[in-house]
Chain A
Amino acid sequence: MEEGKPITKNVDWMVVLIYIACLGIGWVNIYAAVYNPETHSSIFDLSNNAGKQLMWIGTTFILIICILVIDYKFYETFSFIIYAIVIFLLVVVLFAGSNINGSRSWIKFGAISLQPAQFANLAVSLAISKYLSDPAISLTRKLKDYYPILGIIALPSFLILLSNETGSMLVFASFAIILYREGMPGFIPAIGIVSAALLIISLLYNSWYIAGAIIFIAGIVIWVMPVMTRRRGGLMATVLIAFVMISIVFGVDFFMNNVLQKHQRGRIMVLLDPDSDPRGIGWNVIQSKIAIGSGGFTGKGFLQGTQTKFDFVPEQSTDFIFCTVGEEHGFVGTAVVVSLFILLISRLVVLAERQRSRFARVYGYCVAGIFFFHFLVNVGMTIGLMPVIGIPLPFFSYGGSSLWSFSVLLFIFLKIDAQRPFTLSRG
Chain B
Amino acid sequence: MLENRRFVIIGFFALIGFIYLFRLFYLQVLDESYSIESSSNSIKRVIEVPFRGQIYDRNGKLIVYNTPVYDLLVTPYKVKVDDTLRFCRVLGIEKREFDSLITAASAYSRVKPSLFLRQLSKEDFASIQDIMVDYSGFEFAKSSMRTYKGATLANTLGYVSEISKKQLEKQEEPYYRQSDYIGQTGIEKIYENELRGKRGTKFVMQNVSGVYKGAWKGGELDTMAVAGANLYSGIDIDIQQYADSLMMNKVGSVVAIEPKTGQIISMVSAPTYDPNFLATRHFSKNYTALYRNPYKPLFNRPVMASYRPGSTFKLIQALIGLQEGVITPNSGFTHANCPIGCHNHPGTPTVALGVTHSCNPYFYNVFRRIIYNNKISNTFKASAAGLDVWHDRISKFGIGQQLGIDLPSERKGNLPDKKYYDKIYGENRWKFSNIYSLSIGEGEILITPLKMANVAAIIANRGYYYTPHVIHSVGESRTVNPDFTVRHETGVAPHNFEPVIEGMVGAVEGGTARRSKVEGIEIAGKTGTSQNKRGMDHSIFIAFAPVDDPKIAIAVFVENAGAGGSAAAPIANLIIEKYLTRKITNKALEERIMKADFMKNVILPAPPKPVAKDTVKRRQGIPMAPLEKPIPSEINWFKRF
**Do A and B assemble together?**
yes
**Taking the complex as formed, is B131 at the interface, i.e. its CB lies under 8 A from any CB of chain A?**
no
A254 to B21, CA, bound (A): 36
With A290-B41, A383-B20, A385-B23 already in contact, the answer to whether A297 and B29 are too (CB < 8 A) is yes
Contacts of A56 in B (CB 8 A): none
B9–A293 contact, CB under 8 A? no
Q: Is B36 an interface residue when CB atoms closer than 8 A count as contact?
A: yes
Given A295-B28, A306-B42, A331-B29, residue A353 in contact with residue B36 (CB < 8 A): no
A367 within 8 A of B: no
In the complex, whether A61 has a CB less than 8 A from a CB of chain B is no
Interface residues on A, range: 35 or more
Let me know if A349 and B39 touch, CB within 8 A.
no
- Asked if B2 and A181 make an inter-chain contact with CB atoms under 8 angstroms apart, the answer reads yes
Which one of A177, A376, A379 lies within 8 Å of B9 (CB-CB)?
Answer: A177
Verify B39–A290 contact, CB threshold 8 A: yes
Chain B positions 159-188 with a Cβ under 8 Å from a chain A Cβ: none
A140 to B2, CA, bound (A): 10
- Indicate whether A182 sits within 8 Å of B28 (C-beta atoms), given known contacts A345-B13, A349-B9: no
Within 8 Å CB of A177, what residues of B?
Answer: 9
Instruction: Kindly state whether residue A289 has any CB partner on chain B within 8 Å.
Output: yes
A310 touches B42 (CB 8 A): yes
Q: A289-B27, A334-B24 are in contact. Are A339 and B5 (CB under 8 A)?
A: no
Q: Does B43 belong to the interface (CB within 8 Å)?
A: yes
When distances are taken between beta carbons in the complex, the residues of chain A under 8 Å from B206 are 310
Complex contacts, A311 vs chain B, CB 8 Å: 207-209
Complex interface residues of chain A between 63 and 95 (CB less than 8 A to chain B): none
B420 within 8 A of A: no
B14-53 CB contacts (< 8 Å) to partner A: 14, 16-17, 19-21, 23-25, 27-29, 31, 33-36, 39-43
Considering residues B39, B42, B214, which has the most beta carbons from chain A within 10 angstroms of its beta carbon? Answer: B42
Contact B28 A312 (CB under 8 A): no
The answer to whether A310 and B23 touch across the interface, beta carbons within 8 angstroms, is no
Interface of A is mostly: helix
Cross-chain contact A338 with B27 (CB below 8 angstroms):
no
**Distance (Å) between the CB of A134 and the closest chain B CB?**
16
Flag if A353 contacts B40 (CB, 8 Å).
Answer: no
Number of A-B contacts (CB under 8 A): 118
B8, B13, B207: residue with the most chain A Cβ atoms closer than 10 Å:
B13
Does B533 make an interface contact (CB < 8 A)?
no
B205 in contact with A342 (CB, 8 Å): no
Question: Please, how many angstroms separate the alpha-carbon atoms of A294 and B39 in the complex?
Answer: 8
- Taking a contact as CB atoms under 8 Å apart, the answer to whether B217 and A342 are in contact is no
Residues of chain B in range 184-211 having any CB-CB distance to chain A below 8 Å = 205-209
* B550-582, CB < 8 A from A: none
Do B2 and A182 touch across chains, with their CB atoms under 8 A apart?
yes
**B contacts with A: majority SS:** helix
A-side contacts of B205, CB under 8 Å: 37, 306, 309-310
Q: Is B10 an interface residue (CB 8 A)?
A: yes
Other-chain contact of A310, B19, B20, B24, B207 (Cβ < 8 Å):
B207
A353→B214 contact, CB < 8 A: no
A307–B28 contact, CB under 8 A? no
Size bracket, chain B contacts: 35 or more
Q: Bound complex: CA of A387 vs CA of B34, how far in Å? A: 20
B17 contact set on A, CB distance < 8 A: 338-339, 341-342
Q: Are B20 and A379 in contact, CB atoms less than 8 angstroms apart?
A: yes
How far, in angstroms, from A312 to B23 measured CA to CA in the complex?
A: 21
Q: What residue in chain B is nearest A301 (Cβ atoms)?
A: B217
Q: How far is the CB of B160 from the nearest CB of chain A, in Å?
A: 36
A274 beta carbon closer than 8 Å to chain B: no
A26 at the interface (CB under 8 A from B): no
Is residue B609 contacting chain A, with contact meaning CB distance below 8 A?
A: no
Q: What's the nearest-Cβ distance from chain A to residue B313, in Å?
A: 72
Write out, one digit per residue, whether chain B residues 505-544 have a CB within 8 A of any chain A CB (1) or not (0).
0000000000000000000000000000000000000000
Instruction: Please tell me if A335 contacts chain B, counting CB pairs below 8 Å.
Output: yes
* Whole-angstrom CA separation of A365 from B31 in the bound complex: 37
Q: Are A342 and B14 within 8 A (Cβ)? A: yes
Among B16, B35, B209, residue most surrounded by chain A Cβ atoms (within 10 Å):
B16
Bound-complex Cα distance A320 to B130 (A): 46
Q: Is the CB of B24 within 8 A of A335?
A: yes
A279-301 at interface with B (beta carbon < 8 Å)? 289-290, 292-297
Instruction: Check A37 against B40 for contact (C-beta < 8 Å).
Output: no
In the complex, B122 has a CB within 8 A of chain A: no
A296: B residues at CB distance < 8 A: 28-29, 35
Contacts of A293 in B (CB 8 A): 27-28, 31, 33-35, 39
Task: Find out whether the CB atom of A331 lies under 8 angstroms from the CB atom of B25.
Answer: yes
Asked if residues B40 and A290 are in contact (CB atoms below 8 Å), the reply is: yes
CB distance from B18 to the nearest CB of A (A): 9
Nearest-neighbour CB distance to chain B for A289, whole angstroms, equals: 6
Contact of B213 with A310 in the complex, beta carbons under 8 Å: yes
By a CB distance below 8 angstroms, the chain B residues around A289 are: 27, 34
On whether the beta carbons of A342 and B42 are closer than 8 Å, the reply is: no
Task: Determine if A212 is an interface residue (Cβ-Cβ < 8 Å).
Answer: no
Question: By CB atoms of chain A within 10 A, which of B17, B28, B35, B214 has the most?
Answer: B28
Cα A341 to Cα B9 in complex, Å, equals 15
Q: Are A338 and B21 in contact (CB under 8 A)?
A: yes
A400 at the interface (CB under 8 A from B): no
Instruction: Check if B6 sits within 8 Å of A326, measured CB to CB.
Output: no
- Please give me the residue from chain B that is nearest to A37 by CB atom: B214
Any B CB within 8 A of the CB of A180: yes
| A125 and B374 alpha carbons, distance in the complex (Å) | 123
Given contacts A140-B2, A335-B21, 17 further A-B contacts (CB under 8 A): A289-B34, A290-B34, A294-B34, A294-B40, A296-B28, A296-B35, A297-B28, A297-B29, A311-B209, A326-B24, A326-B28, A335-B24, A342-B17, A353-B6, A376-B16, A383-B27, A385-B19
A-B CB contact pairs (8 Å), 21 listed: A37-B205, A38-B214, A140-B2, A182-B2, A289-B34, A292-B27, A294-B40, A297-B28, A307-B41, A309-B205, A309-B213, A311-B209, A326-B24, A331-B28, A334-B28, A338-B17, A338-B20, A349-B9, A353-B3, A365-B9, A385-B20
**A-B complex: 5 closest residue pairs judged by Cβ atoms:** A293-B34, A310-B207, A342-B17, A306-B42, A311-B208
By a beta-carbon cutoff of 8 Å, the part of chain A in contact with chain B is 36-38, 140, 177, 180-183, 289-290, 292-297, 304, 306-307, 309-312, 326, 330-331, 334-335, 338-339, 341-342, 345-346, 349, 353, 365, 372, 376, 379-380, 383, 385
